[in-house]
Structure 1
Amino acid sequence: MIEVFKTNVQEVEQSILIVGKLLEHFPSSAINFDLEDCDKILRIHGASISHNKIIELLDSYGFHCEVLL
């Protein structure tokens, strides 16, 4: 399953922090950002992905995150 999210993450350093924190919760997932995209895309490829957990985690670090449909 691949899920795609729109975020407001701007900096590479921020994306590295977020990926590390997400991997703590979803250790077997492949996670990356596309900061060149206008929607600052977050992609997560994994077996079981919780949209709410991902959105809550980014929110706890002060970032906006929503499922991209």
Structure 2
Amino acid sequence: MEVLVFATNVTHQGQVSRVNALLTGLPDVTDWNFDLDDCDNILRVVASGLSPRHIEMLLLSAGIKCYELAD
């Protein structure tokens, strides 16, 4: 398992619900959460075998911008 960390443009609950619908359907995702108090509206995804690019493209398909933050 690894923790992938992304900056996003998510600012409200409706967008969080869209992300929930996308990530809940992925068997390789075991947990995820947002920190909307952070200036980058952080999304953390705990997953196995998923590339950051896969998450970025999945969220982009729902109109949500995100990019992986470097360690």
| Same fold per superposition (TM over 0.5) | yes
Q: Say if 1:19 and 1:32, in contact at 8 Å, map to a contact too.
A: no
Which runs of no fewer than 5 residues in structure 2 stay unpaired? none
RMSD (Å) for aligned C-alpha atoms? 1.5
The one-character-per-residue Cα deviations of 1:9-33 (angstroms, maximum 9, x if unpaired) are 1102211220221121245410111
Distance 1:38 1:26, change over 3 A: farther
Amino acid at match of 1:49: L
**Residues in 1 aligned to 2:41 and 2:11: alpha-carbon distance in whole angstroms:** 7
Give the superposition deviation at 1:67.
Answer: 0.4
Structure number having the greater helix percentage: 1
Which runs of no fewer than 5 residues in structure 1 stay unpaired? none
1:11 corresponds to: 12
Alignment partner of 1:29: what SS?
strand
Comparing 26-35 with 41-50, greater Cα deviation is found at 26-35
Q: Say if 1:3 and 1:43, in contact at 8 Å, map to a contact too.
A: yes
Distance 1:27 1:17, change over 3 A: farther
Structure number having the greater strand percentage: 2
